[in-house]
């Protein structure tokens, strides 16, 4: 390896690799100390600007390689999604709203330049949180970055037809109900709520603070006992149909050339990076098991963990939490079970009903126009947390925990009938309940988009855009997400306190 720039390429992080290689004007074959091969073209003169920013793996793929891959699928009449590419630039694990959003933004920004592959073991999303959520979008966080991510997603959803339209296909319609989100607060939390509203307004959210009297006038069908005030979104908040959103993202991605692979990521291969100091590793390839039981290796430049509630398992495959030193610290994300109950109340508040979040953790919103309501409970104490073991619904949870709170807030709900219910996992960050986004401090070509709690849907477009900016533009623009980096679990960060809550 004669070029000093290339020696540094092996040593440095992925981002610095991208910057430095631009200065070398030749095709170069790289070989890491463990023998994995990469081809990098770096001639500035014959590349459009956008290509210079792209992380590339397997860049030097001949047309034959590409055709062969496609023909292999055709020859064996394999259904779409079962051909696993041998190389890709970006490997995304998990094709829910977050993974698909990241894929969309990478491909949108650089349609011709980078290969993006999404590995998804459950292509009909029977267990994905994206499909099992309470469907809400709001800007009501105390953390400015969260508000920015939600604002961005809301704007994205408003303009979804421009973003996700596909020629010859019906325009996407995510049935966004802009009915607003009403967050209620007790006296002890009133000051914090008022401060949050000011911060949210400063960031551009159309949110107002309502006193108890104003609440009572506006929503006479609700009982505001124990409530001091509430904040209400006047624009851009509400709920939507997550399946239509995910389907639109996926359809657009496929039209842009993103490869969705039906398979389960079962492991990563690591390679040693040449350094002057202690031995270092980076991720080199992912191993995917397809439904026929075969395992396939895909070399990549960058892997992004979008595995939702299963993110810690995927992180472990990369030795995060099982290695030594910095790798001994696990990704602190666990599944937490949440139920969604649908009840019927023909005499209910109907159109008047925003998405309501109560201090008790109770939540409800109107579903359609036929008198149906979706409700659930985010337990405020660990004691009330449902057991995670399976996706079964505990109807006793509704009778004992949800219905009493619901009828206390809206007495009319005592006449409602429970119609159906489902359970899903949210991805809970056990350390500070905030997102984990961005690179691992040691495995720099491994990025996270995890720990999104009950807000992943509303952050999804913002996260996709932000990670694209981080990867391709060398820095965040839509929201500065550095505080969400994994580093905070390794150092005693005074900022961490501010992330909690």
Tell me whether residue 99 or residue 113 sits nearer to ligand FAD (CB atom). Answer: 99
**Closer residue to ligand FAD, CB minimum distance, 88 or 129:** 129
CA-based diameter of the chain, in Å?
Answer: 79
Across the beta sheet with 333-344, what order do the strands follow? Answer: 207-211, 229-233, 181-185, 355-357, 362-367, 372-377, 333-344, 417-429
Determine if 122 is a binding residue for ligand FAD (CB under 6 A).
yes
Q: Which is nearer to ligand FAD, 14 or 307 (CB)?
A: 307
Closest approach, Cβ 52 to ligand FAD, in A, equals 30
Sign of the Cα torsion 242, 248, 249, 254 reads: positive
Nearer Cβ to ligand FAD (338/366): 338
**Which string of x and - marks every residue 250-289 that binds ligand FAD (by CB under 6 A)?**
--------------xx------------------------
CB of 340 vs ligand FAD, minimal distance in Å: 5
Residues whose CB falls within 8 Å of the CB of residue 449, separated by 6 or more in sequence, listed in order? 98, 99, 102, 304, 305, 306, 435, 436, 437, 463, 467
What distance in Å separates the CA atoms of residue 369 and residue 13, rounded to the nearest whole number? Answer: 53
Provide the minimum distance between the beta carbon of 143 and ligand FAD in the complex, in angstroms, as a whole number: 14
Q: Buried b / exposed e across 350-365, counting CB within 10 Å, b at 16+?
A: beebbbbbbbbbbbbb
Using rule CB under 6 A, residue 455 touches ligand FAD:
yes
* The only residue of 104, 373, 425, 476 in contact with ligand FAD, by rule CB under 6 A: 425
Sheet strands (E) in 79-174:
87-93, 116-120, 136-137
Binding pattern to ligand FAD, positions 12-51, x when CB under 6 A? ----------------------------------------
Distance in Å, CB of 276 to ligand FAD, minimum? 35
Closest CA to 330 of 305, 349, 301: 305
Q: Contact, 149 vs 459, CB < 8 A?
A: yes
* Interface segment toward ligand FAD; rule CB under 6 A; list 40-48, 90-98, 103-111, 391-399: 90-98
The Cβ of residue 229 has, within 10 Å, a number of other Cβ atoms equal to 23
Q: Which stretch binds ligand FAD (CB under 6 A): 96-104, 295-303, 408-416, 479-487?
A: 96-104
Which one of 35-43, 189-197, 227-235, 447-455 is the stretch in contact with ligand FAD (CB under 6 A)? Answer: 447-455
Residue 379 phi/psi, 5° resolution?
Answer: -55, 135
Phi-psi sector, 444: left (phi>0), alpha (psi -120 to 50), beta: alpha
Per the CB < 8 A criterion, the answer to whether 446 and 317 are in contact is no
| Segment holding 385, helix H or strand E | none
CB nearer to ligand FAD: pick between 309 and 439: 309
Q: Does 362 bind ligand FAD (CB under 6 A)?
A: no
Q: Binding ligand FAD by CB under 6 A: which of 89, 109, 110, 135?
A: 135
Q: Does 456 bind ligand FAD (CB under 6 A)?
A: yes
Eight-state DSSP code of residue 415: G
CA distances to 267, 270, 330, 447, 471 from 463, in Å:
25, 26, 22, 12, 12
Q: How far apart are the C-alpha atoms of 179 and 352, rounded to whole Å?
A: 8
Q: Which stretch binds ligand FAD (CB under 6 A): 13-21, 75-83, 117-125, 196-204?
A: 117-125
- Contact assessment for residue 224 and residue 182, using Cβ atoms and an 8 Å cutoff: no
DSSP string, 185-229: E-HHHHHHHHHHHHHHHHTT--EEEEEHHHHHHH-TTS--TT--E
Under rule CB under 6 A, residue 424 binds ligand FAD: yes
Question: Which 201-240 residues touch ligand FAD, going by CB under 6 A?
Answer: none
Site string for ligand FAD, 285-314 (x = CB under 6 A): ---------------------xxxxx---x
Residue 81 engages ligand FAD in binding (rule: CB under 6 A): no
The smaller minimum CB distance to ligand FAD, of residues 448 and 489, is found at 448
Interface with ligand FAD by CB under 6 A: which range of 62-70, 202-210, 211-219, 418-426?
A: 418-426
Determine if 185 is a binding residue for ligand FAD (CB under 6 A). no
CA atoms within 13 A on the CB side of 236: 22
For ligand FAD, the closer of residues 21 and 398 by Cβ is: 398
Please, which residue, 164 or 452, has the CB nearer to ligand FAD? 452
Q: Which stretch binds ligand FAD (CB under 6 A): 55-63, 84-92, 220-228, 454-462?
A: 454-462
Q: Of 135 and 145, which CB lies nearer to ligand FAD in the complex structure?
A: 135
Q: Tell me: does residue 334 bind ligand FAD (CB under 6 A).
A: no
Q: Which residues bind ligand FAD (CB under 6 A)?
A: 93-99, 119-122, 125, 128-130, 132-136, 264-265, 306-310, 314, 338, 340, 424-427, 452, 454-458
């Amino acid at each position: 390896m004669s070029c000093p720039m290339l020696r540094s390429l092996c040593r440095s992080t992925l981002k610095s690799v991208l910057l430095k290689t631009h200065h070398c004007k030749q095709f170069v074959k790289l070989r890491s100390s463990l023998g994995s091969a990469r081809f990098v073209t770096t001639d500035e003169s014959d590349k459009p600007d956008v290509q210079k920013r792209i992380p590339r793996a397997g860049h030097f793929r001949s047309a034959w390689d590409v055709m062969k891959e496609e023909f292999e699928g055709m020859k064996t009449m394999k259904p779409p999604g079962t051909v696993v590419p041998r190389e890709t630039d970006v490997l995304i694990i998990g094709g829910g709203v977050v993974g698909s959003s990241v894929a969309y933004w990478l491909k949108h920004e650089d349609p011709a330049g980078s290969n993006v592959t999404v590995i998804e073991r459950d292509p009909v999303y029977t267990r994905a949180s994206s499909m099992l959520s309470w469907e809400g979008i709001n800007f009501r966080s105390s953390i400015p970055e969260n508000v920015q991510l939600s604002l961005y997603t809301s704007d994205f959803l408003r303009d979804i037809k421009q973003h996700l339209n596909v020629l010859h296909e019906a325009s996407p319609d995510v049935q966004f109900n802009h009915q607003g989100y009403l967050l209620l607060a007790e006296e002890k939390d009133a000051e914090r709520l008022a401060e949050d509203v000011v911060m949210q307004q400063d960031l551009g959210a159309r949110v107002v603070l309502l006193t108890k009297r104003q609440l009572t006038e506006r929503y006479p069908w609700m009982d505001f006992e124990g409530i001091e005030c509430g904040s209400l979104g006047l624009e851009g908040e509400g709920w939507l149909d997550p399946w239509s959103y995910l389907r639109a993202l996926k359809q657009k991605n496929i039209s842009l050339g993103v490869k969705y692979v039906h398979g389960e990521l079962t492991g990563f291969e690591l390679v040693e990076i040449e350094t002057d100091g202690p031995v270092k590793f980076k991720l080199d390839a992912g191993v995917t098991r397809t439904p026929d039981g075969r395992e396939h290796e895909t070399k990549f430049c960058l892997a992004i963990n979008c595995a939702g509630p299963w993110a810690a398992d995927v992180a472990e495959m990369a030795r995060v939490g099982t290695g030594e030193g910095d790798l001994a610290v696990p990704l602190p994300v666990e599944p937490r079970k949440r139920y969604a109950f649908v009840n019927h109340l023909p005499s209910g508040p109907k159109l008047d009903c925003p998405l309501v979040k109560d201090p008790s953790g109770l939540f409800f919103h109107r579903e359609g126009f036929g008198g149906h309501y979706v409700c659930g409970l985010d337990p405020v104490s660990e004691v009330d947390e449902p057991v995670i073991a399976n996706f079964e619904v505990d109807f006793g949870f509704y009778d004992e925990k949800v219905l009493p709170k619901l009828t206390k807030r809206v007495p009319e709900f005592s006449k409602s009938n429970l119609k159906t219910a489902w359970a899903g996992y949210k991805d809970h960050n056990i350390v500070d309940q905030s997102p984990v986004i961005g690179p691992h401090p040691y495995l720099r070509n491994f990025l996270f988009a995890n720990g999104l709690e009950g807000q992943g849907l509303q952050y999804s477009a913002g996260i996709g855009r932000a990670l694209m900016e981080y990867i391709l533009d060398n820095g965040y623009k839509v929201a500065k997400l550095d505080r969400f980096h994994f580093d905070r679990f390794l150092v005693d960060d005074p900022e961490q306190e501010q992330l909690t809550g």
